Structure 1
Amino acid sequence: MSSVAAQQPNSSSDSPTSTLPTEPDEGAETRNFFLLAFSQVVLRCGWIFKTESIIIPAVLDLIAGPGWVRGLLPILNRIGQSLPPLFYARTLKSMSQKKWSLCGTTLAMGVCFSLLAFCFVPPIRDAVDGWFPESTTWPSVWLTVAFLVCYFLFFAATGLNQVGFGTVQGKLVRVTKRGRLMLVANFAGAIAAIGLAAWLLPKWLTNHDAHVHWIFGFAGGAFLLSAGVSALLKEHCDKAPHVKGTAAELFHDAFSVLTEDRNFRRLAVVAFCFGCSLMLFPHYQALARDRLGAPLENLIFWVIIQNGGTAAFSLLGGPLADWKGNRLVLRLMMFGVFLMPLIAIVLIHTGPSDATLFNWLFLLVGVTPVMFRGLSNYVLEISPRSEHPRYLAALSLCVAAPMVASPAVGWALDAVSYEAVFLTVSAILFGGLLMTWTIAEPRQSV
């Protein structure tokens, strides 16, 4: 098959590699590259203060407790990041300047976390306690519900933000510089975030108290600043008519990618398996605290190690993506994701040194942002630029699909064992790792 035929977006051929996007405006590319990198650095500085694998579940444990409540976090996270982008893809495609989508959704992320911080301000919490003077349960129920609602709204905005960022990146940054952008954003962002966490978290988080309003308030402020930076991007206007659609048509838009593109179907299996690993992320910190007696202060060390892992894996993944393509990056990152639950189970049975060794497991959690970006960048390469929102929305659905089982996973951890659940997920991840050998490398067809 010729490369031209293989690059048709609606082809159902065995290797439907799409035409690489039109190269961006060279005059503005450098400016936009650094603005996008800086906005992502600022975003990561806020993200470390709300790490959903460590800080978020630990705070929820403090106000709620049961594993099934913690198990709601991944499903709220992934539903928020998958369904809203599905309904938003056509709107984004028709926007003349995509940067305003990126700016607006980042702004919404900042507002959500600012509201969440407001719920934890001591006078507000004291006032709520005063509404239920005879109860020790209802104040926690109120705060838990407010927490979960804000958490869901935040990730709905995050899902729109990720599709917007991918679309803006596809428009403004050429394909051979996207790995470099991932490297700069993740590495510089992780280093800056580690410095801020090491400085501020010991002031706000101890074994005896957690100033959650300051932690979440800082995160919200960073997201608001990132929104302001993204508004400075220089972008030419697209001319695309706005096409409305029913919910059924929008779902068809996303699922048609699976029927039209065989290579994407294979990638969808990888994304689905990777999504299974996300169900375990809130439980790593619970495993360490339940089985190893890790103190609350360890959260600081864990978020620093995790972001250090992101920086290290970005140093590997960024240059490899530009040099060899994103398929190799996906293969390597998926191997790291596969190892995480296996290593966790081994470490809780290794003897007196297991508590210290377990701390370093969070290095592998740092693989996750690189894996996410690798998936997005791979999709940007196999789809025409006009179809980026649709392909990215379909990818989000594939990652989110296993999350319907997340509350059951949280229940099973309490009812069965950590070992059984972690080993089952690891077996699924091994299947996803094998599938990375079946997807095409787009650059081999160009």
Structure 2
Amino acid sequence: MGDPPPNSASHSDQLWNRAALLIHQALFRVAWIFKTESVIMPAFLDTISESGLIRGALPLLNRAGQSLAPLLLAQQLSRTPLKKLWLSRTTFLMGAPFLFLSACIWLGNAQLPPAFAFVFLTAYVVFFCMHGINEMTASTVLGKLIAATHRGRLQAAASAIGTTAAVSLALLLLSRWLQPPGQAPFQQIFCFVGSVMMLAGISSRLLREPADLTATAVPQPASTAFRRTCRLLKDDPVLRRLCLVAVLFIFSQTIFPHYQSIGLARSGRSRTVLMHWVVAQHIGAVCFSAASGFLADRTGVRSALRLLLPCAACAPLLAAALARFAPPGWYWITFFWIGLVPVTLRMQVNYAIEITSRQRHPEYISTLNLCMALPFLASPLIGGLVDWVGHELPFIAVAVIVGAGAVLTWTMAEPRTHQLKTEN
């Protein structure tokens, strides 16, 4: 079981921190909806290159950045007295790649050549390196300042508030910005994402965080970080089982970039549907977050995972069925359903921080992220298969793999009813 928030925190400080985290996460979600990984990013890449192989590289680069950077910096974060400073800086820096891309589109008169795909992928990796560190830091701050029995509802509330604001802005702005053809709309979209992301970074300075008394962080080589991860997996069977479930689940993200290309092909390649899909996905996230957050707070995170993973296994099958049998206007249901994927990722992290002491949260989160990187080595191959044999066979294979993860959730222990905490 994870540690409770510090006893020295007053009731007013706890309420303040909940409000501050709500503001930060709501702003973060507003920025995120305008760069949705299953819709906006692959749609922009397709304006440069329509190769399924290059599109399939997006999940690999996404997960590589999110996994390796946190692994190398987990020890430094755990020994940092004020974690909110890392949260603020990494969120702020996440806006920089998008402002860079917006400037490139403007300077290139919205006619970037195919070779720019490699510049885009580089900026994409930089962003997800920052995001990986940011995600690890945000979960560490959540574990430090918010009690386990309030985390699910806080995340559900942030999801509801952030998505309401994000959907309203998407309907107002994306409906206009996506009308012109080519790359021009993405200049405004990326500028908006970068600006709001930086604002979210500034907002996290509002947190009232007591400083930890820790030793000075000493940079460690990558080999040491990898050995530490292997040792954690060897010594903690509960973490090992969580990582196995997470590895199977994360295959669901390897096909994310292909959802929008399949839908666009069926809708006559009209980009106005992108806005509807973005909105549907984030409304889906709110619905799944509310249900799983209630379950997690009342009966434990394990119950939430037992709900979410079977639903995730159905997503590729649902997409394939809608693409084959339903009218194009029904394809938005796919994006509503895959709104559960980021919710599941958060629940897995919440499980990780409940099975160890607060001082080890960064190590456990970075270990979980590293394990989830392995399936993404197959994402370019999956992209090539989609080009070669179509989407149905790869989608069915992913559904079977995620289904195996859903079965394994019934072998997971519940941290709140077992003494699972790993001591230093």
TM-score when normalising by structure 1: 0.90
Residue 116 (structure 2) aligned to one of 136, 143, 168: 143
Structure 2 counterpart of 1:259: 234
Change in Cα spacing, 1:19 to 1:75, as seen in structure 2 (3 Å) is: closer
Matched, 1:159 2:143: no
Paired AA for residue 63 in structure 1:
I
Larger deviation: 76-85 or 360-369?
360-369
Q: Report the secondary structure of 2:108's partner residue.
A: helix
Report Cα offsets for 1:243-301 as digits up to 9, x if no partner: 43221111112222211111111111111012111001110011112345352110000
- Give the superposition deviation at 1:21: 3.8
| Within-5 A mapping of 1:130-279 | 139-206=112-179, 208-209=181-182, 210-241=184-215, 242-279=217-254
Looking at structure 2, the residues matched to 236 and 394 of structure 1 have their Cα atoms a distance apart, in angstroms, of 26
Looking at structure 2, the residues matched to 208 and 94 of structure 1 have their Cα atoms a distance apart, in angstroms, of 49
- Give the superposition deviation at 1:35: 0.5
Looking at structure 2, the residues matched to 145 and 409 of structure 1 have their Cα atoms a distance apart, in angstroms, of 20
CA contact (8 A) 1:277 1:337 kept: yes
Matched, 1:81 2:56: no
Matched, 1:336 2:311: yes
Looking at structure 2, the residues matched to 358 and 211 of structure 1 have their Cα atoms a distance apart, in angstroms, of 23
| Within-5 A mapping of 1:77-116 | 77-116=62-101
Looking at structure 1, the residues matched to 393 and 266 of structure 2 have their Cα atoms a distance apart, in angstroms, of 15
Looking at structure 2, the residues matched to 176 and 248 of structure 1 have their Cα atoms a distance apart, in angstroms, of 37
Structure 2 counterpart of 1:66: 51
Report Cα offsets for 1:174-202 as digits up to 9, x if no partner: 11110111111111111111000000001
Residue 312 (structure 1) aligned to one of 287, 296, 315: 287
Q: Report the secondary structure of 1:71's partner residue.
A: helix
After superposition, the CA RMSD in angstroms is 1.5
CA contact (8 A) 1:94 1:240 kept: yes
| Within-5 A mapping of 1:278-427 | 278-291=253-266, 293-350=268-325, 353-427=326-400
Looking at structure 1, the residues matched to 300 and 200 of structure 2 have their Cα atoms a distance apart, in angstroms, of 28
CA contact (8 A) 1:191 1:311 kept: no
Looking at structure 1, the residues matched to 371 and 268 of structure 2 have their Cα atoms a distance apart, in angstroms, of 36
Larger radius of gyration: 1
- Give the superposition deviation at 1:207: 6.0
CA contact (8 A) 1:207 1:295 kept: no
Paired AA for residue 227 in structure 1:
G
Matched, 1:26 2:30: no
CA contact (8 A) 1:19 1:383 kept: yes
CA contact (8 A) 1:110 1:219 kept: yes
Paired AA for residue 118 in structure 1:
A
Report Cα offsets for 1:190-229 as digits up to 9, x if no partner: 1111000000001110263541110011111110010011
- Give the superposition deviation at 1:144: 1.4
Paired AA for residue 334 in structure 2:
L
Which structure 1 residue ranges, 5 or more long, are not aligned? Answer: 1-17, 130-138
Residue 125 (structure 1) aligned to one of 92, 96, 108: 108
Report Cα offsets for 1:112-156 as digits up to 9, x if no partner: 2111211111xx004x97xxxxxxxxx523421221111111111
Looking at structure 1, the residues matched to 207 and 165 of structure 2 have their Cα atoms a distance apart, in angstroms, of 22
Looking at structure 2, the residues matched to 222 and 255 of structure 1 have their Cα atoms a distance apart, in angstroms, of 38
Q: Report the secondary structure of 1:235's partner residue.
A: coil
What is the total number of aligned residue pairs between the two structures?
Answer: 415
Percent identity reads: 38
Paired AA for residue 201 in structure 1:
L
Larger deviation: 383-392 or 308-317?
308-317
Paired AA for residue 338 in structure 1:
A
TM-score when normalising by structure 2: 0.95
Paired AA for residue 436 in structure 1:
T
- Give the superposition deviation at 1:335: 1.5
Q: Report the secondary structure of 1:403's partner residue.
A: helix
Looking at structure 1, the residues matched to 249 and 393 of structure 2 have their Cα atoms a distance apart, in angstroms, of 18
CA contact (8 A) 1:188 1:311 kept: no
Looking at structure 2, the residues matched to 212 and 417 of structure 1 have their Cα atoms a distance apart, in angstroms, of 28
CA contact (8 A) 2:266 2:328 kept: no
Paired AA for residue 52 in structure 1:
E
- Give the superposition deviation at 1:370: 1.0
- Give the superposition deviation at 1:302: 0.2
